[in-house]
Amino acid sequence: MNIKNKKIAIVGGGPGGLTLARLLQQVGCNVTVYERDINKDYRVQGANLDLHEESGIRALEKANLMEAFYANYLPDAGKLRLMDHRGNIYLDDHTEEHNTEHRPEIDRGPLRKMLLESLQADTVVWDSQFVSMEKERDGWKLLFKNGKQYYADIVIGSDGANSKIRPYLSDAKPIYSGVTIIEGTIYEVEKNAPNINSLLKGGKIFAFGNEQSIILSTKGDGSIAFYTGEKVAENWVKDSGVNFENSAEVKKWFETNFSNWDGIYHELFATEKLVIVPRPQYHFPLDQHWQTQNNVTIIGDAAHRMPPYAGEGVNMAMLDALELSEALLHSDNVQTAFEQYESQMFERVKEVASVTLQNTVEMHKPSALQYIVDLFNSFQSFSFNTNRELR
């Protein structure tokens, strides 16, 4: 099949979509990425990403971007402190030299910049929020919020957990995991949360207690990202009465709901230099399937959204990009390529999602701390202690 004579539209310019664009452009394909952000300098939110050898790193190797990756990665960001809600440290990756290079970390912003710079000029059409698409000839006419329209022979949805491409393939509804995350970013953390900054030491913290969780990550731009996790009803964000755009209300919520947590954690909500986003966590059915089409498919969270409690989201998206690109380049026709990719993806993600959902449950049980201690000790030898003179 000569895929190079097809107009390929990728809807969504996240890591999966941009990786796919790079992989296809390397072999001469005609690719356009449609991204809703207004420009390349739009601020990228969220924690930094740990890329795994068998997935994210493998895709970057195929894209010939490892030199650029190691020019931008964060060598100390993977160093972990595992703590309880009282501020005691149980596992400390800073006390000994450990090899974390099998899952090196990078900020979302530099990863996107690196991928964008690897693409041909004008590959990405910015300020393109997808609205719908209509069948036209053998492909699709794509309609965007700004009123513009474009034709593509092949459409690949990489438009995230709330994908508008996905309904053209599947009517399976997302399932609430039972846990809602409050995502936060603190800018200029050295000034605005100095005690947390010192505790992080340039790495990350996983903290558990009272069937709740707090996960913190150091970013390379002087900020930190964090997630609180709590078992609440599916509609809690709406029904809680908390205005999550009001820092005072959010602070009061945290002081109430996390009242048994040590004061050092409360520094997270003590600054106004804070951006908050509530995120109920959903996943798609583990046994999901759909009828393969000959001109549209999806990758990443659009295909297999799941909570972040295994660090697999971006890695699965980038591996999707790799496997889909290889299928397109080596199959007799597009539908055969899509069928090969989708069947591989369904089986692979079923296992990953199962582990992720188990972690989501276990991390919000009374036994969460011991579960995570055992989990990390099974990966490698960490330093174990119960340092009660933290401050």
Binding-site positions: 43, 50, 108, 301
Q: Are 209 and 85 in contact (CB under 8 A)?
A: yes
The C-alpha atoms of residue 145 and residue 128 are separated, in whole angstroms, by: 7
- Encode 309-326: b = buried (16+ Cβ within 10 Å), e = exposed: bbbbbbbbbbbbbbbbbb
Binding residues for NADPH: 43
The C-alpha atoms of residue 90 and residue 71 are separated, in whole angstroms, by: 32
Tally of CA atoms within 13 A in the half-sphere of 130 that contains its CB: 27
Return phi, psi of residue 219, to 5°.
-110, 160
- Name residue 75's amino acid: P
> Which residue in this structure is represented by tokens 């530099």?
110
Beta pairing partners, 175? 283
Binding residues for FAD: 50, 108, 301
- Name residue 201's amino acid: K
Strand pairing category for 49-50 and 7-11: unpaired
The C-alpha atoms of residue 245 and residue 165 are separated, in whole angstroms, by: 29
C-alpha R_g of the chain: 21
Return phi, psi of residue 80, to 5°.
-110, 140
Helix runs in the chain, H state only: 15-25, 56-62, 66-72, 108-117, 189-192, 194-200, 236-239, 247-257, 263-266, 301-304, 313-330, 334-362, 368-379
SS3 assignment, position 4: helix
SS3 assignment, position 256: helix
> Which residue in this structure is represented by tokens 């040590």?
262
Question: What region does 210 belong to: left with phi over 0, alpha with psi -120 to 50, or beta?
Answer: left
